[in-house]
């Protein structure tokens, strides 16, 4: 099936009826003198729909979860929302009753500024854990963000910048497609960089077969007319194929959040999209999958210190759980990740990780090879547990690329799974060890 | 109970009737010009008992396991051994039928040199996976090692050097104690450095509650008179409290091996040690525990790039499995380990890792603190999920030490577990990424 959508500009403001803004209100308390030459990075974002929207969400399954996640989990039950406010620089996690009070105050302030019921405002946070929010700064930021809301691509870009922490670039995408003769758009922004191996579910409870583990945030908007239940189902499906298939460092955050607002202004026939197998349902799912997957891949490519983007493709497993566990064991092995950093086609470390994974693996059956991203032309280094005649030089060339696919065939069954993974570099360590003499430099 | 043993010199040759040697036979095929100023590091060790000995072992539970491990697993069923030969520089793992043939030939060569039945010779290997052994060099090495066997501490030191890979120093220990009026000794050598989170069992099958994951090798000798069954039981107990409680990088090797030979020459009454609760049984266990634990700690302290040795002590868990899982999640978190490297007392990353671990954790109940190694004077950074009044400066001072204990109280039950862990440093990454332009530099 050819793609039924095209990519367009504007991310979260591309769909009709959405406004965004991003401001700097000094949530890390850098003081005024600490910005870069370009000025300090924005740290508070606001995204607003002109009309009430259906809402769905996915959240961290970490047992320790931040106050804003708890607020969203409670408010999603209403099925309707209209605005979301997000800060970076402070996770508002492990902040006790004060943290919950602050998260609720953030939503109340937005509601007051925009003349909405507070229950229609959602909230997200990302940054260091265990520090209470500087609410004076946050209040000023929210007032300013509300004043600066706009529907230009530049406004969405400011929001995308404001949710970044250690990200080196904004993560934005939007697509346009047709539903029932009407033009429909889906847009999104995301942030990632570290503490990335999400295990998202709609309830905060762990879904089966998703192991554990980001602070990743993703905020999606669409003008599609779609009810809450099909929207949640579509988001769950898209999340399972994207955010839940990435890992940077194997750590699952307390704050991971994916939210989507669907305001219906495209005017497509709502009754047609209710069925996931309908033409409209399939088109919407396909477009949403693309948006989520591209944002998820941007998160891995821009992971802290990342120099290699590796798609680990496991096939021939006895069960999906086995395929998933095998792919994650390889994708999270410190030794495999450092070998990628060095461009070393070390299949020994890969088969070692497969062997200690919970998946059933038989050494004499394993094939391991490399290809260009998405290519079926695989250079096999190992077949049936035995080295092939591929030369060390040829294998080095295959893993020297910034992006490649790692193919693992277990040859025991028919199940497969893939994980988008990254290398482990000195830059990751350097960034995350921080500088205790400058606490404002310390990461999440 | 005060310690009933004292530490002595000589490691594996301290017990009566044991000989050792370590030679260089160029297993990495460095050529002759490549040694350091001191000459190339030894790479083949031989340890021999003058008389047949009871034998017990623990092996990797990796599903992909090396030929020497398979040989040992088969031969341990006989219960008696007399010699072991170990090479470094090549793991003889994933080497197919040729690898098995080579491992068996190594034992046959030793048997021939020492006029023993081949079935009484055990074998171990460590190094890069997937390369067949240079048997010409190995054969020459075994002949030389057999000629150079001796009972001096220097001979044991040469054996300890020969099993090193990325280790920066030898790991040796011996203790002396009394059983039934006779002087008994236990000695051991070990190697570690990378691919370290052993999950050892006597059968190669995974024991319950030991998650997964080193190449670590440990060879123990004793002149105690003890039967095969109580020896295996004692080794299992000692291993569970030592090697299975350490992690460097969370990777479990294909080659992990612990072997003990007990030749009985001390002449203690064998009937007394059969019962683990007897005075002699308790003394032997206590001494063996000490030997294994000290060697295990040496492995962590000398892990690749390690600058911090952290004992993660979890208490108040609902079950041992929970306590163990919680401790391992923290000990293997890339973000926690990098914060240790930077001396950052980042309890946020610790509680994040606890939250995504499989253990039941309630944020509002968690206490996190630091002490000097083994001290009960804990500086708490978090109590019942809330930051204490401990200053950032004081917490930084607590984690600035090269060695400290991390105390985690879940306050949900009575179970506890501890893990000996290490930081993650740029040096680890630099070492393990290797240099593909010089394949001989590439690690295991």
Contact A94 B348 (CB under 8 A): yes
- Using one digit for the tens of pLDDT, what is the confidence trace for A218-233? 999 999 999 999 999 9
Query: Which residues have a Cβ under 8 Å from the Cβ of A65 and sit 6 or more positions away?
Result: A59, A93, A204, A254, A255, B355, B363
**Reported confidence tier of residue B195, pLDDT bands at 50, 70, 90:** low
Contact A358 B212 (CB under 8 A): yes
**Reported confidence tier of residue A38, pLDDT bands at 50, 70, 90:** low
In a domain, A440, yes or no: no
B171 contacts B189 by C-beta, under 8 angstroms: yes
| B201 and B349 belong to one structural domain | no
pLDDT value, residue A202: 65
Number of H helices, E strands in chain B: 12, 16
Residue B287 has pLDDT above 90, yes or no: yes
Torsion angle of C-alpha atoms A332, A247, A339, B239, degrees rounded to 10 = -10
In a domain, A131, yes or no: yes
- Using one digit for the tens of pLDDT, what is the confidence trace for B106-115? 999 999 999 9
| A153 and A27 belong to one structural domain | yes
CA distance A384 to B334: 33
| A79 and A188 belong to one structural domain | yes
**Reported confidence tier of residue B34, pLDDT bands at 50, 70, 90:** very low
Contact A344 B387 (CB under 8 A): no
CA distance A54 to A222: 10
Give the residue numbers of B marked as catalytic. Answer: 215
Residue A91 has pLDDT above 70, yes or no: yes
pLDDT value, residue A431: 76
Residue B244 has pLDDT above 50, yes or no: yes
Contact B62 A355 (CB under 8 A): yes
Query: Bigger pLDDT: A248 or B169?
Result: B169
DSSP A245: G
Using CA atoms, how far residue B103 sits from A387, B107, B183, in Å, is 19, 7, 36
* Closest-CA residue of chain B to A98: B386
In a domain, A432, yes or no: no
Structure tokens at A48: 């607003």
Q: What is the mean pLDDT of residues A242-249?
A: 83
- Nearest of B280, B283, B284, B282 to residue B269 by alpha carbon: B280
pLDDT value, residue A212: 29
CA distance A339 to chain B (A): 5
In a domain, A439, yes or no: no
Top residue of B200, B395, B436, B442 to mutate, by most chain A CBs within 10 Å, is B436
Tell me the range of A270-274, A414-418, B244-248 where mean pLDDT is highest: A414-418
Using CA atoms, how far residue A199 sits from A60, A246, A252, B174, in Å, is 6, 10, 7, 47
| A93 and A196 belong to one structural domain | yes
Structure tokens at A142: 């929210």
| B292 and B326 belong to one structural domain | no
Contact A63 B348 (CB under 8 A): no
| A269 and A219 belong to one structural domain | yes
| B282 and B321 belong to one structural domain | no
Residue B393 has pLDDT above 80, yes or no: yes
ipTM: 0.81
Which range is least confidently modeled, A348-352, A364-368, B184-188, B276-280? B276-280
Nearest to B63 among A199, A254, A355 (CB): A355
Contact A426 B424 (CB under 8 A): no
Is A31 exposed, middle or buried (CB count within 10 Å of its CB: 0-12, 13-18, 19+)? exposed
Tell me if chain B has a CB within 8 Å of the CB of A201.
Answer: no
pLDDT value, residue B202: 66
Residues 345-384 of A with CB under 8 A from B: 346-349, 351-358, 360-364, 366, 382
| A63 and A186 belong to one structural domain | yes
B442 contacts A346 by C-beta, under 8 angstroms: yes
pLDDT value, residue A207: 46
Domain that includes residue A42, residue range: 5-301
| B171 and B191 belong to one structural domain | yes
> Strand, helix or coil at B339?
helix
CA distance B387 to A97: 13
Mean of pLDDT over chain B: 89
pLDDT value, residue B295: 96
In a domain, A216, yes or no: yes
Orientation of helix B334-342 relative to helix B320-332, angle to 10°: 60
Residue A409 has pLDDT above 60, yes or no: yes
| A249 and A362 belong to one structural domain | no
Residue A140 has pLDDT above 90, yes or no: yes
Q: Which residues of B touch A349 (CB under 8 A)?
A: 129, 195, 251, 444
Structure tokens at A365: 């059956």
**Reported confidence tier of residue B219, pLDDT bands at 50, 70, 90:** very high
Domain tally, chain A: 2
pLDDT value, residue B174: 97
Please report the number of interchain residue pairs, chain A to chain B, with beta-carbon separation below 8 angstroms: 219
CA distance A338 to A327: 16
pTM > 0.90: yes or no: no
How would you classify residue A220: left for phi > 0, otherwise alpha for psi between -120 and 50, otherwise beta? beta
Query: Which residues have a Cβ under 8 Å from the Cβ of B89 and sit 6 or more positions away?
Result: B27, B28, B43, B126, B127, B128, B165
Q: What is the mean pLDDT of residues B22-39?
A: 70
Structure tokens at A71: 């607020």
Q: What letters, b where the CB count within 10 A reaches 16 and e where it falls short, cover A393-429? A: eebbebbebeebbbbbbbbbeebbbbbbbbbbbbebb
| A119 and A162 belong to one structural domain | yes
Q: Which residues of B touch A442 (CB under 8 A)?
A: 344, 346
Tell me if chain A has a CB within 8 Å of the CB of B52.
Answer: no
Q: Which CATH number characterizes residue B344's domain?
A: 3.10.20.340
Residue A211 has pLDDT above 50, yes or no: no
Query: Bigger pLDDT: A1 or A156?
Result: A156
CA distance B276 to B260: 17
- Using one digit for the tens of pLDDT, what is the confidence trace for B394-410? 999 999 999 999 999 99
Of B272, B301, B330, the residue that ends a domain is B301
Residue B33 has pLDDT above 50, yes or no: no
Q: What angle do CA A104, A105, A109 make, to 5 degrees?
A: 125
Q: Which residues of B touch A429 (CB under 8 A)?
A: 338, 341, 424-426, 428-429
Tell me if chain A has a CB within 8 Å of the CB of B266.
Answer: no
Of B270, B285, B301, the residue that ends a domain is B301
* Closest-CA residue of chain B to A251: B333
> Strand, helix or coil at A164?
coil
pLDDT value, residue A196: 59
Write phi, then psi, for B124 (nearest 5 degrees): -140, 155
Q: Outline where A312-419 has alpha helix (H).
A: 320-332, 334-342, 347-356, 392-400
Strands B18-23 and B386-387: unpaired
Write phi, then psi, for A339 (nearest 5 degrees): -65, -35
In a domain, B435, yes or no: no
> Percent of chain A beyond pLDDT 70?
90
Contact B433 A213 (CB under 8 A): no
Q: What angle do CA A263, A269, A274 make, to 5 degrees?
A: 80
* Residue B428 exposure: Cα atoms within 13 Å on the Cβ side: 34
Strands B403-409 and B367-371: antiparallel
Is A272 exposed, middle or buried (CB count within 10 Å of its CB: 0-12, 13-18, 19+)? middle
Residue B200 has pLDDT above 80, yes or no: no
Q: What is the mean pLDDT of residues B150-177?
A: 95
Residue A30 has pLDDT above 80, yes or no: no
Tell me if chain A has a CB within 8 Å of the CB of B201.
Answer: no
Query: Which residues have a Cβ under 8 Å from the Cβ of A52 and sit 6 or more positions away?
Result: A80, A81, A82, A120, A263
**Reported confidence tier of residue A2, pLDDT bands at 50, 70, 90:** low
pLDDT value, residue B416: 96
pLDDT value, residue A208: 38
Tell me if chain B has a CB within 8 Å of the CB of A341.
Answer: yes
Structure tokens at A80: 């309707």
Query: Which residues have a Cβ under 8 Å from the Cβ of B9 and sit 6 or more positions away?
Result: B153, B174
Contact A335 B251 (CB under 8 A): yes
> Percent of chain B beyond pLDDT 90?
64
Tell me if chain B has a CB within 8 Å of the CB of A394.
Answer: no
> Strand, helix or coil at A215?
coil
pLDDT value, residue B6: 95
Tally of CB atoms within 10 A around B391: 11
Contact B130 A361 (CB under 8 A): no
Residues 239-258 of B with CB under 8 A from A: 249-254
> Strand, helix or coil at A425?
coil
Q: Outline where A302-391 has alpha helix (H).
A: 320-332, 334-342, 347-356
Using CA atoms, how far residue B175 sits from A95, A182, B49, B293, in Å, is 50, 82, 18, 13
Q: Which residues of B touch A350 (CB under 8 A)?
A: none
CA distance A135 to A141: 9
Q: What letters, b where the CB count within 10 A reaches 16 and e where it falls short, cover A301-330? A: bbbbbbbbbbbbbbbbbebbbbbbbbbbbb
CA distance A234 to A276: 8
pLDDT value, residue A4: 83
| A276 and A342 belong to one structural domain | no
Is A142 exposed, middle or buried (CB count within 10 Å of its CB: 0-12, 13-18, 19+)? buried
How would you classify residue B359: left for phi > 0, otherwise alpha for psi between -120 and 50, otherwise beta? beta
Tell me if chain B has a CB within 8 Å of the CB of A216.
Answer: no
Contact B352 A251 (CB under 8 A): yes
Structure tokens at B64: 């992909």
Residue A1 has pLDDT above 60, yes or no: no
CA distance A139 to chain B (A): 24
Using CA atoms, how far residue B170 sits from B58, B164, B308, B423, in Å, is 21, 7, 19, 21
Q: What is the mean pLDDT of residues B227-249?
A: 89
Q: What is the mean pLDDT of residues A303-330?
A: 93
Of B301, B320, B350, the residue that ends a domain is B301
Q: Which CATH number characterizes residue A209's domain?
A: 3.60.70.12
Query: Which residues have a Cβ under 8 Å from the Cβ of B308 and sit 6 or more positions away?
Result: B340, B341, B399, B402, B403, B404, B422, B423
CA distance B79 to chain A (A): 28
B429 alpha-carbon distance from chain centroid:
22
Using CA atoms, how far residue B431 sits from A330, A334, B52, B420, in Å, is 19, 12, 41, 22
pLDDT value, residue A424: 87
CA distance A104 to chain B (A): 19
Residue B278 has pLDDT above 90, yes or no: no
> Percent of chain B beyond pLDDT 70?
90
Instruction: List beta partners, residue B44.
Output: B23, B87
- E strand map for B61-160: 80-90, 121-128
A22 contacts A160 by C-beta, under 8 angstroms: yes
Residue B323 has pLDDT above 70, yes or no: yes
In a domain, B207, yes or no: yes
Which range is least confidently modeled, A140-149, A314-323, A351-360, B109-118? A351-360
CA distance A359 to chain B (A): 9
pLDDT value, residue B134: 95
In a domain, A237, yes or no: yes
pLDDT value, residue A270: 86
Instruction: List beta partners, residue A282.
Output: none
Residues 19-48 of A with CB under 8 A from B: none
Using CA atoms, how far residue B432 sits from A88, A214, A428, B436, B442, in Å, is 34, 25, 14, 11, 7
Type and span of the H or E element at B286: helix B279-301
């Amino acid at each position: 099936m050819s793609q039924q959508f095209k990519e367009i500009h504007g991310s979260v403001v591309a769909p009709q009826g959405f406004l965004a803004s991003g401001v700097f209100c000094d949530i890390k308390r850098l003081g005024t003198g600490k910005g870069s030459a370009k000025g300090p990075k924005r740290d508070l974002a606001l995204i607003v729909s002109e009309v009430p929207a259906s809402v769905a969400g996915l959240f961290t399954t970490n047992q320790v979860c931040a106050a804003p996640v708890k607020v969203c989990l409670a408010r999603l039950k209403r099925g309707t929302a209209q605005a979301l406010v997000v800060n970076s620089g402070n996770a508002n996690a492990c902040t006790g009753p004060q943290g919950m009070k602050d998260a609720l105050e953030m939503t109340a302030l937005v509601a007051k500024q925009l003349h909405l019921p507070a229950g229609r405002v959602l909230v997200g946070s990302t940054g260091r854990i265990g520090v209470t929010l500087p609410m004076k700064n946050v209040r000023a930021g929210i007032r300013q963000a509300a004043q600066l809301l706009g529907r230009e691509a530049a406004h969405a870009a400011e929001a995308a910048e404001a949710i970044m922490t250690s990200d080196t670039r904004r993560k934005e995408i939007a697509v346009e497609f047709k539903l029932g003769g009407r033009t429909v758009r889906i847009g999104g922004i995301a942030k990632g960089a570290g503490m990335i191996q999400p295990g998202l579910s709609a309830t905060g409870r762990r879904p089966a077969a998703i192991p554990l583990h980001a602070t990743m945030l993703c905020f999606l908007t669409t003008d599609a007319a779609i009810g809450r239940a099909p929207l949640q189902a579509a988001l769950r499906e898209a999340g399972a194929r994207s955010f839940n298939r990435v890992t940077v460092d194997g750590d699952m955050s307390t704050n991971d959040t994916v939210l989507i607002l669907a305001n219906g202004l495209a005017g497509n026939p709502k009754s047609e999209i209710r069925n996931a197998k309908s033409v409209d349902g399939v088109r919407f799912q396909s477009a949403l999958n693309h948006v989520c997957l591209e944002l998820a891949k941007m998160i891995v490519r821009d992971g802290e210190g990342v120099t290699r983007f590796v798609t680990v493709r496991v096939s021939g497993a006895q069960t999906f759980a086995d395929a998933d566990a095998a792919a994650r064991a390889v994708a999270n092995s410190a030794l495999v990740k450092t070998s990628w950093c060095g461009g070393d086609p070390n299949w020994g470390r890969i088969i070692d990780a497969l062997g200690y994974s919970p998946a059933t693996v038989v050494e004499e059956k394993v094939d391991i090879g490399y290809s260009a991203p998405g290519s079926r032309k695989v250079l096999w280094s190992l077949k049936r547990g035995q080295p092939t005649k591929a030369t060390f030089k040829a294998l080095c060339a295959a893993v020297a690329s910034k992006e490649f696919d790692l193919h693992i065939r277990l040859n025991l069954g028919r199940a497969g799974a893939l994980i988008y993974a990254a290398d482990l570099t000195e830059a990751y360590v350097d960034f995350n060890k921080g500088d205790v003499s400058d606490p404002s430099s310390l990461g999440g």
